[in-house]
Structure 1
Amino acid sequence: MQLDHATIVTADLGTARRFFVDVAGLTQGARPPFSIDGYWLYANGRPLIHLIDATVPAVTGRTAPRIDHIAFRLESAAEWQALLGRLRERGVDYQTAYVPQMGPQEAQAQLFVALAPGVVVEFVTALHHAQP
């Protein structure tokens, strides 16, 4: 089994699209003609992220369903440095964290971007890729 796609419902489609294309490095691609505005964003030829316009306001007093975060794995130091460059270039704030080594799993570097209220994007790589 593998992840097919993640859908993010947002009232700010433009900002979300720009982040995933300009910073995360996805490409905007074909999308079926649904009745609600949105975008399909591709990685390696697959529509990985579906952005959908939030047309219904959240109900007060109830917790709206959401995805806590989406994580993208970067496999090389070059990819990690390129991401950092794009974040700096566009003035995108982020936080970092580290996952210590556990058994055979090597230590990991994490980078978190709060894209919108309730939407966090994580990038993760082997710690040695994130060393300057």
Structure 2
Amino acid sequence: MRLDHVTLRVRDLDAHRRFFKAVLDLRDGFRPAFGFPGCWLYAGSEPVVHLIPARPGGAEAAPSGEGIDHVAFLRDDHDAFCERLDHHGIPYGRMELPEIGERRLFIHAPGGALIEVAFREPTPTPRTQEALP
């Protein structure tokens, strides 16, 4: 398992986008069509910072409405992990993102922090047709 990305809720998406690009050398990259604004910033081929709008009216932990929305971990044992959550009676939400070959589970830590656990499917290798004799 490894840390996959951090999602930040921000009031000014563009200012934060420019900041992370200038300071951390991140670059804009593909983001699935979630139905709400945001952007993904990449380090190499990995989207490591996700930016989304701050909640109107602020959040409990961040009166400005800005702050860390969730942290995500990357694992490779989807079915076993679901069984573990079921065994412990931990409810979870699902998100399927076939366009990037990813499945996600969302759980809450005891204090309420949102934790995402992502599972990437191996990228299928295109088959080539063998030459006929």
Name the TM tier (shorter chain): 0.3 to 0.5
TM-score by length of 2: 0.44
Q: Looking at CA atoms only, which structure, 1 or 2, has the larger radius of gyration?
A: 2
